[in-house]
Amino acid sequence: MIIYLLCFALFLIGLYGLITKRDLIKIILASGIMGYAVNLMIVLFGYRRGAVYPILEKGKEAAVMVDPLPQALVLTSIVIELGTTAMLVALAIRLFNKYKTFDITKIRRLRG
Amino acid sequence: MTPVLFIIIPLASAFLIALIGRKREFLAPALSSLATVTLLGFSVLTYFRLGSGILVYELGGWKMPFGIALVLDAFGAFMLVIVSLIALTSLLFSFRYIAHLGPDWKYYALFMILVSGMNGVLITGDLFNLFVFTEIALFAAFALVAYGGRAHELEAAFKYAVMASVSSSLILAAIAVVYSATSTLTMAHVSVAMAGASPGLKIWVGALFLAGFGLKAAIIPFHAWLPDAHSSAPAPISAMLSGVLIKALGIYVLVRIFFNILGAPHVFLQAFLVLGAISLLLGVFLAVGQWDLKRLLAYHSISQIGYILLGIGLNTSLGMAGAVFHLLNHALFKSLLFYNAGSLEMGLGTRDLRKMGNITRLMPVTAHSSMVASLAISGIPPFNGFFSKLLIIIAAVNAHQPVYALVAVVGSLLTLSSFMKVQRYGIRGENPVERLQSRPGWGMNAAMVILAVLCLFTSLLIVPGIKESVLDPVAAAIMSKTGYAAAVLGGR
């Protein structure tokens, strides 16, 4: 149970950073932390105590295995997150070129 | 005809454009319009051939709980028609409009990726696959919002991307919870497994999904990104985002999950009603105060989504038919209004209503089609908006929810007042504008005329006989609730 709570805490840290930070790069990092927390949760859901990796080999008897599907899902979701991060960083670089700052309080042009 | 074509055609054309589009300038627009015309033809054909049936396609021949299944029912096919229709007019509008921003094959490639992402969301029968297609559509949307490369566009795209990454995390968490509870991701199997689940689990999953997809649909507590993103994008993309993206990624998925998978739990229907009413009123209040035409339209999108949610939350087949009808109508008139805004911005170099004037003489097509769209969105009789709002209001009264009926009427009146402002100060404004910076081309005018005519003709869908054959199968597909699972699992 404690491990799920820690995972949730990681998610909240990401959310906190996303809401309170004023720096574009820190916001990107915070969104990354949120993503890690969710990925970790998916892997934890597939975990079985004392289980082996889910590959059948010759000479190895079938034992309790961890669920392989969440691991496959997490791979996909990591790739998607990489894409999101790359997109955010690219936008942040373009914004920096325009404003010469990463501070969102100085960037705010859209209001209302 | 397999449903997988709806993903293959736009995706293949996107990559073809990226490969050969840079060689000749005309290739990118030609290829993308060819693909969209084909999609429109296919989707209309599929919609009428499907009727109230269901089409299940197992990718690669992998049987259902193991592989990814594509599922197409009346609701999905109906949404496919809307997506293809708006995509086609949006492309027609883009030829001249994007050439005016600078000729580019990248725009068309991204556009086709956006279409394939949305089509994928609409036909997939697998929760995780749905998440992946959502992300595909969103990536293209971020890039297209930032397409002009000006400071405020980049800022809007950044805001949009951060919000979307939050909502994606929530959706992924919801999918993880679903998987750990049911050990499957195929929607039909999840639906069967969830039938016996504890109410607590349903609340957990539902709350996560509602927050995740509510952010994408811009329902009111989650709406902050929409006015920026939708008003900063190039006009044809604003039309795509407001007209179809928030519906395909937001409303469609919410309905699919809450009705077809979770079986419409009462507490979430109440949440739909309350959030719908709040979005409806607050959206329109925020819209009335705007002077920037595209921002005003963006706030109206929030308010119109409120109408659709209201119809859905009533949980009667009449309300559902009204909601589905309003979905189509909003796609038509909101896209038309964004085209008008784009052509005004191109002609006058401003989106500020106070700086417009003399439009009726200089841009007659824009002026008249914007009149049609304004009347349609405010719910004035011969146009489609009136009938769909009427259906929702009648359904609310029939369901003994007079308060929500009143909210819908008040919202409609406020919508009327804000569009009277658009007409009075913008289109028939008194600024002595003498000449245009650049004229809208034939493609832009054609796109506006097509949608204006459709705004009038889709009113016919309310006629008894036509309503039964077009709207009712869609409403029935939604109202069958978990009957969806039985249809998918049995209809192979």
Cβ contacts of A36 within 8 Å, gap of 6 or more: A10, A14
Over residues B430-445, the pLDDT tens digits come to: 777 777 888 888 889 9
Q: Shortest Cα distance from B436 to chain A (angstroms)?
A: 27
For B181, the 3-state DSSP assignment is helix
Helix (H) or strand (E) holding B230: helix B226-232
Mean pLDDT of chain A: 88
Question: What is the per-residue pLDDT for B42?
Answer: 93
Kindly indicate the confidence band of residue B55, based on its pLDDT and cuts at 50, 70 and 90: confident
* Residue numbers in A near B164 (CB within 8 A): 84
Q: Shortest Cα distance from A104 to chain B (angstroms)?
A: 9
φ and ψ at residue B219, rounded to 5 degrees: -75, 155
What's the token pair of residue B221?
Answer: 């507590």
* Residue numbers in B near A76 (CB within 8 A): 128, 132
Question: What is the per-residue pLDDT for A112?
Answer: 44
For A45, B179, B230, B345, B371, the CA distances from B452, given in Å and listed in that order, are 52, 45, 21, 19, 9
Question: What is the per-residue pLDDT for B177?
Answer: 92
Question: What is the per-residue pLDDT for B103?
Answer: 64
Lowest mean pLDDT, pick from B97-101, B249-253, B328-332, B409-413: B97-101
Cβ contacts of B147 within 8 Å, gap of 6 or more: B101, B107, B110, B153, B233, B234, B237
Which is higher by pLDDT, B128 or B62? Answer: B128
Q: Shortest Cα distance from A58 to chain B (angstroms)?
A: 25
Q: Which of A77, A89, A95 to mutate to test the interface with B (most CBs of B within 10 A)?
A: A77
* Residue numbers in A near B158 (CB within 8 A): 24, 88, 91-92, 95
* Residue numbers in B near A84 (CB within 8 A): 135, 139, 161, 164-165, 168
Q: Shortest Cα distance from B165 to chain A (angstroms)?
A: 7
* Residue numbers in B near A29 (CB within 8 A): none
Please determine, for residue B64, whether its predicted confidence score (pLDDT) is greater than 80: no
Please determine, for residue B52, whether its predicted confidence score (pLDDT) is greater than 90: no
* Residue numbers in A near B180 (CB within 8 A): 45
Q: Average pLDDT, stretch A34-55?
A: 88
Closest Cβ–Cβ partner in B139, B173, B179 for A87: B139
B146 with A91: Cβ contact below 8 A: yes
Question: What is the per-residue pLDDT for B492?
Answer: 47
Please determine, for residue B298, whether its predicted confidence score (pLDDT) is greater than 90: yes
Q: Average pLDDT, stretch A89-96?
A: 93
Cβ contacts of B328 within 8 Å, gap of 6 or more: B78, B82, B384, B388, B458, B461
B166 with A34: Cβ contact below 8 A: yes
Closest Cβ–Cβ partner in B158, B172, B295 for A95: B158
Question: What is the per-residue pLDDT for B330?
Answer: 94
* Residue numbers in A near B131 (CB within 8 A): 77
For A19, B134, B139, the CA distances from A82, given in Å and listed in that order, are 21, 15, 12
Report field, pTM of the whole predicted structure over 0.90: yes
Question: CA neighbours within 13 Å on the CB side: how many for B155?
Answer: 20
Please determine, for residue B10, whether its predicted confidence score (pLDDT) is greater than 90: yes
Q: How many helices (H) and strands (E) does chain A have?
A: 4, 0
* Distance separating alpha carbons of residues B4 and B120, to the nearest angstrom: 9
> How much of chain B is helix, strand and coil, in % rounded to 5?
80, 5, 20
Closest Cβ–Cβ partner in B131, B155, B169 for A95: B155
Please determine, for residue B108, whether its predicted confidence score (pLDDT) is greater than 80: yes
A94 with B154: Cβ contact below 8 A: yes
Question: What is the per-residue pLDDT for B319?
Answer: 92
* Residue numbers in A near B208 (CB within 8 A): none
Q: B443 with B92: CB under 8 angstroms?
A: yes
ipTM over 0.90? The verdict is yes
Q: Average pLDDT, stretch B95-115?
A: 86
* Distance separating alpha carbons of residues B280 and B298, to the nearest angstrom: 13
The DSSP letter of residue A48 is: -
Over residues B139-184, the pLDDT tens digits come to: 999 999 998 888 888 999 999 999 999 999 999 999 999 999 988 8
Q: Which of A15, A74, A87 to mutate to test the interface with B (most CBs of B within 10 A)?
A: A87
Q: B164 with B142: CB under 8 angstroms?
A: yes
Please determine, for residue B75, whether its predicted confidence score (pLDDT) is greater than 70: yes
The DSSP letter of residue B438 is: S
The verdict on B142 touching A (C-beta cutoff 8 Å) is yes
Please determine, for residue A66, whether its predicted confidence score (pLDDT) is greater than 50: yes
* Residue numbers in A near B232 (CB within 8 A): 110
The DSSP letter of residue B250 is: I
Over residues B404-431, the pLDDT tens digits come to: 999 999 999 999 999 999 888 888 877 7
The verdict on B426 touching A (C-beta cutoff 8 Å) is no
* Distance separating alpha carbons of residues B96 and B240, to the nearest angstrom: 17
Question: CA neighbours within 13 Å on the CB side: how many for B334?
Answer: 33
Kindly indicate the confidence band of residue A111, based on its pLDDT and cuts at 50, 70 and 90: low
Q: Which of B165, B168, B291, B295 to mutate to test the interface with A (most CBs of A within 10 A)?
A: B165
Please determine, for residue B33, whether its predicted confidence score (pLDDT) is greater than 70: yes
Helix (H) or strand (E) holding B69: strand B69-72
Q: Which residue of A has its CA nearest to B291?
A: A112
Please determine, for residue B244, whether its predicted confidence score (pLDDT) is greater than 50: yes
Q: Which of B169, B185, B293 to mutate to test the interface with A (most CBs of A within 10 A)?
A: B169
Chains A & B: contacts with CB separation below 8 Å: 98
Kindly indicate the confidence band of residue B15, based on its pLDDT and cuts at 50, 70 and 90: very high
Q: Which of B 117-136 lie inside 8 A of A, CB atoms?
A: 128, 131-132, 135
Task: Tell me the three-class secondary structure of chain A, residue by residue.
Answer: CHHHHHHHHHHHHHHHHHHHCCEHHHHHHHHHHHHHHHHHHHHHHHCCCCCECCCCCCCCCCCCECCHHHHHHHHHHHHHHHHHHHHHHHHHHHHHHHHCCCEHHHHCCCCC
Residues of A with CB under 8 A from a CB of B: 11, 14-15, 18, 24, 27, 31, 34-35, 37-39, 41-42, 45, 69-70, 73, 76-77, 80-81, 83-84, 87-88, 91-92, 94-95, 98-99, 107-110, 112
